[in-house]
Amino acid sequence: MATVIPPPSKRQKREVLERSKIQQDVTSTTITGSIRARFVDSEGKELAETIEIPLADATERNVSSLLNTLLQRDREDFTPYRFRIQIPNSNTVIDSYPTPAEFLEVLRKHGVENPFETTLSLTAEPQSVFKVQAATRMAHRIPGHGQPILTAQFSPKTGAILATGSGDSTARIWNTESGTPKYTLQHSGWVLVCSFDPTGAYLATGSMDKMVRLFDPDTGKQIGKPFTGHSKWITSIAWQPFHLWQGDGARLASASKDATIRIYITSGVTHHVLSGHKSAVTMVRWGGLDHIYSASQDRQIKVWNASDGTLRHSLNAHAHWVNHIALSTDSVLKTAFYDHTKVVPSSMEEKKAKAKARFEKAATHNGKIVERLVSASDDCTATASWDNSIKIFDKDGKFCATLRGHVAPVFQVAFSADSRLLVSCE
CA distance 208 to 111: 62
What does the pLDDT read at residue 385? 45
Local confidence band at 378 (pLDDT 50, 70, 90 cut-offs): very low
417 or 66, which is more confident? 66
51-65, 279-293, 298-312, 336-350: range with lowest mean pLDDT:
51-65
402 or 145, which is more confident? 145
What does the pLDDT read at residue 376? 25
At 287-341, the pLDDT tens digits run 999 999 998 888 888 889 998 999 988 877 677 788 888 888 888 899 889 888 8
For 166, phi and psi rounded to 5 degrees? -140, 165
Whether the pLDDT of residue 27 is over 50: the answer is no
CA distance 294 to 291: 10
| Residue-averaged pLDDT of the chain | 81
2-11, 100-109, 271-280: range with lowest mean pLDDT:
2-11
Give me the residues paired with residue 222 across strands: 215
407 or 24, which is more confident? 407
Q: Which residues have CB under 8 Å from 415's CB, separation 6+?
A: 326, 327, 328, 330, 331, 421, 422, 423
Contact 185, 169 (CB under 8 A): no
CA distance 262 to 269: 10
The residue ranges of every structural domain in the chain are 22-126, 227-357
Q: What CATH architecture applies to the domain 22-126?
A: Roll (3.10)
Residue in 218, 78, 221, 94 with CA at minimum distance from that of residue 157: 218
CA distance 193 to 279: 19
CA distance 226 to 262: 14
Largest CA distance in the chain: 89
Contact 340, 332 (CB under 8 A): no
Local confidence band at 375 (pLDDT 50, 70, 90 cut-offs): very low
What does the pLDDT read at residue 401? 62
Residue in 331, 288, 319, 309 with CA at minimum distance from that of residue 383: 319
Average pLDDT over residues 27-37: 68
At 182-220, the pLDDT tens digits run 999 999 999 999 999 999 999 999 999 999 999 999 999
What CATH superfamily is the domain 227-357? YVTN repeat-like/Quinoprotein amine dehydrogenase (2.130.10.10)
Identify the top-confidence range among 80-84, 100-104, 372-376, 385-389.
80-84
What does the pLDDT read at residue 28? 45
Whether the pLDDT of residue 134 is over 60: the answer is yes
135 or 304, which is more confident? 304
378 or 383, which is more confident? 383
Could you tell me the CA-to-CA distances from 276 to 301, 311, 320, 326, 327 in Å, in that order?
11, 9, 17, 21, 22
Whether the pLDDT of residue 2 is over 70: the answer is no
Average pLDDT over residues 394-412: 61
Average pLDDT over residues 257-261: 94
396 or 334, which is more confident? 334
For 75, phi and psi rounded to 5 degrees? -60, -35
Whether the pLDDT of residue 390 is over 60: the answer is no
Residue in 347, 213, 349 with CA at minimum distance from that of residue 268: 213
Residue in 65, 234, 54 with CA at minimum distance from that of residue 150: 234
140 or 358, which is more confident? 358
Whether the pLDDT of residue 246 is over 50: the answer is yes
18 or 72, which is more confident? 72
What does the pLDDT read at residue 386? 44
Average pLDDT over residues 17-21: 64
Q: What is the 3-state secondary structure (H, E, C) of the chain?
A: CCCCCCCCCHHHHHHHHHHHHHHHHCCCCCCCCEEEEEEECCCCCEEEEEEEEEHHHCCHHHHHHHHHHHCCCCHHHCCCEEEEEECCCCCCEECCCCCHHHHHHHHHHCCCCCHHHCEEEEEEEECCCCCCCCCCCCCCCCCCCCCCEEEEEECCCCCCEEEEEECCCEEEEEECCCCEEEEEEECCCCEEEEEECCCCCCEEEEECCCCEEEECCCCCCECCCCECCCCCCEEEEEECCHHHCECCECEEEEEECCCEEEEEECCCCEEEEEECCCCCEEEEEECCCCEEEEEECCCEEEEEECCCCCEEEEEECCCCCEEEEECCCHHHHHHCCCCCCCCCCCCHHHHHHHHHHHHHHHHEECCEECCCCCECCECCEEEEECCCCEEEECCCCCEEEEECCCCCCCCEEEECCCCCCEEEEC
Could you tell me the CA-to-CA distances from 346 to 340, 350, 352, 354, 355 in Å, in that order?
17, 7, 11, 11, 13
Strand 311-316, strand 368-369: pairing: unpaired
For 22, phi and psi rounded to 5 degrees? -65, -40
